[in-house]
Amino acid sequence: MSEALPKPKMQDYKRHLLVCVGPRCTTEGEAQALFDTLGDKFKAAGIDQGDLRVKRTRTHCFATCKSGPIVCVQPDGIWYYNVTEANLDRIINQHLVKGEPVEDLIYHRSESVIGA
pLDDT digits (tens, 9 = 90+) for 17-56: 999 998 887 888 899 999 999 999 999 999 999 999 999 9
What is the sign of the dihedral through the CA atoms of 6, 38, 76 and 51?
A: positive
Q: Where are the domains of the chain?
A: 15-109
The band of 111, judged by pLDDT with boundaries at 50, 70 and 90, is: confident
pTM: 0.88
| φ, ψ (nearest 5 deg) of residue 8 | -65, 160
pLDDT digits (tens, 9 = 90+) for 70-109: 999 999 999 999 999 999 999 999 999 999 999 999 999 9
Q: Among candidates 70, 61, 71, 78, which has minimal Cα distance to 113?
A: 78
To which CATH superfamily is domain 15-109 assigned?
Glutaredoxin (3.40.30.10)
pLDDT digits (tens, 9 = 90+) for 2-12: 789 999 998 99
CA distance 25 to 65: 5
